[in-house]
Each structure stands twice: as C-alpha cells, then as structure tokens.
Amino acid sequence: INYPHTHLFRGANQYSNEMLKYKNKNDKLIIVYDKNERLAQKVAQGLLERNIQNCFMLSGGIIAMAREYPEYIVGDIPKDIKDKITNRIEDERKKLIKYT
C-alpha cells in the first residue's frame, strides 16, 4: 500500500485500516522506502518508536526493488518510478548491443 508519511505523525487516526492489517503481524512486513533513503530512515525510526516492530527500510530505494524484484511489489508502481526503470533497462540494453 502507498501511505503518505505525513499521515503517520498526526495525533489521531495515524494508521489506515490497511496499515493496521500489517502492524506487528508475524507473517507481514512493512517496508518503508523513498527515492534516496533520507525520508525513509526518519519514517522507519518513527514507526519503530511507535512500537511497530515489523517495519524495515528498503536499502537502495524503490527503483532498485522494482527493477530487480517486481513480483514482490503489491499495488501500482508510481509512474515516475516506472519511467525511470524503463529508461534504465533501455540504457542497459543499448550498452549490451553496443558491446556484442
């Protein structure tokens, strides 16, 4: 699920019903990510401070995750990220063609 970080640190109703389905469930993980890990680190720390124990930060960002492991992403990949993935794949193909 996509859940804006600004909702997490409000006083009341910090968590959506979807978020509560995952909170501290042994068979679920809450993965926090952003593009450059600056904000994700603060959000993950905030969740841990609020006793959400199954929270982890994705190292490398969502672009690397979507490119390498798209089968693990639930929901839609934001268009700007999908475009970056497509552009990087095309660049890698061009390099392979150039050197073969």
Domains of the chain by residue range: 5-99
Give the CA-trace dihedral at 28, 30, 2, 9, to 10 degrees. Answer: 130
Which pLDDT score, from 0 to 100, does residue 92 have? 67
pLDDT reported for residue 26: 92
The 10s digit of each residue's pLDDT in 20-71 is 888 999 999 888 888 767 788 888 998 898 889 999 998 877 777 877 887 8
